[in-house]
Amino acid sequence: MCPDLVEKCYSQGLYPLLGQALGYLSHWMPFSLAELLVLLVILGLLLGLIKQGINIKVGTLSLQSALKKGALLLLMSFSLGYFLFLLVWGFNYYRLPLSELMGLDTTQIRAEELESLCLQLIQESNEMRMVLPEDSEGVVMGDKAEVLGRAGEGYTELAGIYEQLGGNYAKPKALIMSELLSYLAISGIYFPFTGEANLNMGIPDPLFPATVAHEMAHQRGFAREDEANYIAYLSCRQHPDPYHQYSGTLLALLNAMNALARLDYEQYQDLHSGYAAGVQRDFVAISEYWQQYQGPVSRTSARVNDAYLQFNGQEEGINSYGRMLDLLIGERRLSGQSALLEDEE
């Protein structure tokens, strides 16, 4: 598939019209239309199985015929569903890379650049954290309902720099079945058939605004996970509220430090000691939250997500989430910060 053609005709042509049209229909609903549709589909499948079971029992349908009919219906449904998925959003996986659209050099990342990035993000996180309110456990505290209502402000500001990140899309929605998503190790999910960014309301406060911004990046046509993470960081950085700014910076710090740990664990430990106490408590709270949901269900969900991402052209699967650091360093190179680092060397 030709990325230039997809970018021009779909990602910057047809998709914004479709995405915003779907968003207009679901925007006015106070609940997640996606969640309702999923429940209705599950209910429909159960009723269909019950009906087929009754037909087999009374002898109006043989088991062999029921299996053939079911397999055909499943194949047709999958084919139609995948076609609609590509039409309303899926082609965005094949658009031009964000680094190319923004003119970022992401080639041959050096260890020194990564260490410098981590230092910068630690300093910024420590400073931002000082002014934020805490709960009784000393973890940063925010109003999630307010975040959902104000998350678009960051994109409004960002659209002044990158026009295609603007637009009138559906507001992000809270999911009633958030506990189930936690067991599935899912923080949020963009549902292309309704144009909604859906959020797990149970996740810890420190990363909640960044998670909302991540799903809203998907909503704006950026399907790759590393790019959605980077755009979430940019959106939070442009947001007028300090809580959003901190959350986006924390997301960037998490990804950068994870990469450093894989590259040079001793250096990672050295920089990690520079976390402010509040930042450290926030990371502990995030880790402890997800640990309580670890098990066969979360591992199966991770494998399914990995397969889904690879099927849609992201060869690194779930590991692609962490590749946002390439874009972060590309941005530093563009702004001249990497050149300053080389001069210091």
DSSP state of 171: P
In this prediction, residue 317 carries a pLDDT of 40
What pLDDT does 321 receive? 45
In whole angstroms, what is the distance from residue 316 CA to residue 314 CA?
A: 6
What spatial distance separates the first Cα and last Cα of the chain, rounded to whole Å?
43
Q: Is the pLDDT of residue 315 over 60?
A: no
pTM reported for the whole predicted model: 0.89
Range 166-191 average pLDDT: 94
- Of the candidates 154, 275, 163, the one whose C-alpha atom is nearest the C-alpha of residue 211 is 154
The DSSP secondary-structure symbol of 2 reads -
Rounded Cα gap, residues 58 and 45, in angstroms? 20
Overall average pLDDT of the 220-235 stretch: 96
The per-residue b/e assignment along 92-111, b for 16 or more CB within 10 angstroms, e otherwise, is bbbbbbbbebbebebeebee
Report the C-alpha gap between 310 and 341 in whole angstroms.
36
Average pLDDT over residues 179-184: 94
Query: Is residue 319's pLDDT more than 50?
Result: no
- In sequence order, what are the residues at sequence separation of 6 or more whose Cβ sits closer than 8 angstroms to the Cβ of residue 231? 98, 158, 165, 213, 214, 217, 220, 222
Structure tokens, 249: 């910076």
* The pLDDT value given to residue 109: 85
Tell which residue, 14, 327, 318, has the closest CA to residue 187: 318
What is residue 311's predicted lDDT score, i.e. its pLDDT? 56
Residue 185 has pLDDT above 60, yes or no: yes
Sign of the torsion formed by the C-alpha atoms of 98, 271, 280 and 242: negative
What rounded mean pLDDT belongs to the chain?
Answer: 89
Taking only the tens place, the pLDDT of each residue in 104-139 is 998 888 889 999 999 999 999 999 999 999 999 999
pLDDT digits (tens, 9 = 90+) for 266-307: 999 999 999 999 999 999 999 999 999 987 765 676 676 566
pLDDT score for 318: 37
- Contact present, 202 and 186 (Cβ < 8 Å): no
**Per-residue pLDDT at 153 exceeds 80:** yes
Q: Is the pLDDT of residue 246 over 60?
A: yes
Kindly tell me if the per-residue pLDDT of 345 is higher than 70: no
Looking at the chain, the whole-number percentage of residues with pLDDT higher than 90 is 72
Q: What is the pLDDT of residue 324?
A: 87
Q: Could you read off the pLDDT of 156-175 as tens digits, one per residue?
A: 999 999 999 999 999 999 99
pLDDT digits (tens, 9 = 90+) for 297-310: 656 766 765 665 66
Confidence class of residue 343 from pLDDT cuts 50, 70 and 90? Answer: very low
Of 222, 210, 218, 187, nearest in space to 301 by CA = 187
Are the C-beta atoms of residues 195 and 206 closer than 8 Å to each other? no
